[in-house]
A and B are shown apart, each in its own frame.
Chain A
Amino acid sequence: MTALPETTTKKLGLAIDLDTCVGCHACVISCKEWNTSNYGVPLSDIDAYGAEPTGTFLNRIHTYEAKSEGCNAQTVHFPKSCLHCEDAPCVTVCPTGASYKRAEDGIVLVNEDRCIGCSLCAWACPYGAREMDAAAGVMKKCTLCVDRIYNENIPEEDRIPACVRTCPAGARHFGDFADPESNVSILSAERGGIALMPEQDTKPVNRYLPPRPKTDVTGEDKIDILAPFLAPMPKETGGFIGWLDKALEKI
């Protein structure tokens, strides 16, 4: 069971647009809400109202600053969840057969009834995609909302992962990377989708679309469209306000 499938018919995954993501954490909350009440045990919180609250989340947003010589620093919000790797090391290390990758769509799942909570899969994952639930003692991870995407009891527009459905910026895209004509494949090809930590040879399915290059407005002949609107107010003002200003200056 913990052997990886040779190939998967589909490669379902996410294309995450780092240019569009505003770092609002709505996907984190939406993910927690859906997944705490559906597939598997709830995502517990420990000391939720105390000094050191901690809990299980399947999706986390890191915020980075990138700075290169001579350029302004750039903020990049970086959502991180399971990348549903083709060569998922978390699956093959599992001693119980609880972790598996589905041959039909490539989703990596945990059968919580078999999981002994040994943590080895979390150790094997380079991306920190797996978190052990402190209350239940079993490993939790992104299911790609397997209980939404095929769910015929919910409206068709909701049959996408909760994080994608909720993203107010439209930064998250769900689709089949095995199909070169799919929305995510086209997006990834056009924007130069990034695979994280390729040197780990995990062959992640999810792709990150890098921020688009910023317009350089620092040079002499460069035109900054916003500049006229942001220029300081003129010192001399006419009319009543101008008279008042001068009158008050004189006092």
Chain B
Amino acid sequence: MHPSASVIIFTSLSGLGFGLMFWLGFGFPDVTGWSAFWFFFIAYGLAVGGLISSTAHLGNPQRAMNAFSQWRTSWLSREGVAAVATLILTAPFAIGLIFFNTDLQILGWISSILALVTIFTTSKIYNQLKTVPRWNMPLTPVLFLVYALAGGALLSGQITVSAVLLLVLTLLQLAAWQMGDKAFSNAGHTLETATGLGHLGKMRLLESPHSSPNYLMREMVHVVGRKHALKLRAISTVTLGLFPIAILMFLPFSHLLAAVAVASHLIGLFVSRWLFFAEAEHVVGLYYDQR
């Protein structure tokens, strides 16, 4: 799949933002006044920024309101509804903490759970697609949730919890890469099943239907990016989890070092999300004898 910047930024940042909201709703960290303001400012900035970025890849973003209508059937629609509901319900909770020194605890819990639901719906947009076997694994929603929880814990300044979650995340990500590498062949899709002509022998594309790449190939047949996949996986593994864990566990806490850990995690997050798209192979590539 084409790793377009808008969806990478959308899934990464909104995941982080809603992950932070999850922790804030449960009172981690237990802050009020200005410090609460900054925590919620970051959470909203990331979540809303990510959502706005997602509209950048739309052909007709002015009609985006239509996307809230099909929540009965569409995961993308559910994602929109859940995200807006979370943003709206978290607002009075945040206002209570920032301006009135009041903890509307139940509202906080509700917004935490809604934040989790939002992250889950984001993951289902990709996970539901049988056409992309690498995404169509039960691990995908788990991975998205742990990404958000670990990143949120890191942003909310919980040293031990975030170190543990980052370790779990790193292991899960390694497992997802391993399983994802076999997903396409395990699903059994070949040019022979795509054309239904396996009984004639081994198939190959003799002549392409068009002389230059079309929308389908640009959008779904992304071959170049996988060249450095292994190196990028290594970079992501180190920056995503291992380096931040080392900083958190073995160095004395300071705001500067925490910022370094967050920056490192962000790099790892973007690299792994880039790979999430670039390494995903769509079955339509079979018709072009490319994957």
Is A53 located at the chain interface by the 8 A CB criterion? yes
**Known contacts A56-B215, A93-B75, A116-B66; is A65 also within 8 Å of B206 by CB?**
yes
Interface centre among A56, A61, A119, A136 (most CB of B within 10 A): A119
B residues within 8 A CB of A71? 201
- Tell me, yes or no, whether A31 is within 8 Å of chain B by CB: no
Within 8 A of A (CB), among B206-223: 206-216, 219-220
| A-side interface size class | 35 or more
Residue in B closest to A78 when the chains form the complex, CB atoms: B195
| Interface of chain A: mostly helix, strand, loop or mixed | loop
Q: Could you tell me which residues of chain A, from 68 to 115, have a CB within 8 Å of some CB in chain B?
A: 68-69, 71, 74-76, 78, 80, 89, 92-98, 114-115
Whether the Cβ atoms of A93 and B76 lie closer than 8 Å is yes
Taking the nearest CB of chain B, how far is it from the CB of A109, in angstroms? 15
| Interface status of A237 (Cβ within 8 A of chain B) | no
A134 contacts chain B at the CB level, 8 A cutoff: yes
* A191 close to chain B: CB less than 8 A: no
Q: Does B106 contact A (CB under 8 A)?
A: no
A89 to B64, CA, bound (A): 21
Q: Quick check: B58 and A117 within 8 Å, CB to CB?
A: yes
B201 contacts A54, CB within 8 Å? Answer: no
Whether the Cβ atoms of A197 and B74 lie closer than 8 Å is no
A171 interfacial contact with B, CB 8 Å: no
B209 touches A62 (CB 8 A): yes
Q: Contacting chain B: which of A122-130, A147-155, A179-187, A222-230?
A: A122-130
Q: Does A64 contact B (CB under 8 A)?
A: yes
Q: How far is the CA of A117 from the CA of B132 in the complex (A)?
A: 20
Q: In the complex the two chains form, what is the Cα distance from A123 to B218 in whole Å?
A: 12
Check B132–A123 contact: CB distance below 8 A.
yes
CB of A118 closer than 8 Å to a CB of B: yes
Closest Cβ of chain A: how far from B48's Cβ, in Å? 19
Nearest Cβ on chain A to B209's Cβ, whole angstroms: 4
* Complexed CA–CA distance, A153 and B47 (Å): 53
- For B1, B68, B193, B287, which residue has the most chain A Cβ atoms within 10 angstroms? B287
List, in ascending order, chain A residues with CB within 8 A of B58's CB: 116-118, 137
Q: Contact between A116 and B67 (Cβ–Cβ < 8 Å)?
A: yes
A63 to B191, CA, bound (A): 12
Are B125 and A115 within 8 A (Cβ)?
A: no
5 smallest beta-carbon distances between A and B, as pairs: A117-B59, A137-B59, A68-B201, A194-B196, A66-B200
Q: What are 5 of the A-B contact pairs (CB < 8 Å)?
A: A120-B76, A122-B220, A126-B131, A136-B59, A200-B283
